[in-house]
Amino acid sequence: MKTPRNPVPTVDTIIELDSGGLVLIRRKNPPPGWALPGGFIDYGESAEDAAVREAQEETSLNVQLIELLHVYSDPRRDPRKHTIATVFIARASGTPRGTDDAAEAAVFYEHNLPAPLAFDHAKILQDYFTYKRTGQRPRYS
3-state class of 99 per DSSP? coil
* Residue 7 CA neighbour count, 13 Å, CB half: 17
Rounded Cα gap, residues 80 and 45, in angstroms: 22
Predicted model pTM? 0.95
Residue ranges covered by each domain of the chain? 8-134
Which of 126, 120, 117 is closest to 33 using CA atoms? Answer: 117
3-state class of 66 per DSSP? strand
- DSSP secondary structure letters along 7-43: PEEEEEEEEEETTS-EEEEEESSSSPSEE-SEEEPPT
Mean per-residue pLDDT over the chain, rounded:
96
Per-residue model confidence (pLDDT) at position 4? 80
Per-residue model confidence (pLDDT) at position 52? 98
pLDDT in tens, 5-19: 899 999 999 999 999
- Once rounded to an integer, what is the mean pLDDT over residues 46-69? 98
Confidence of residue 141 (pLDDT cuts 50, 70, 90): low
CATH 3.90.79.10 fits 8-134, yes or no: yes
Q: List the catalytic residues.
A: 104
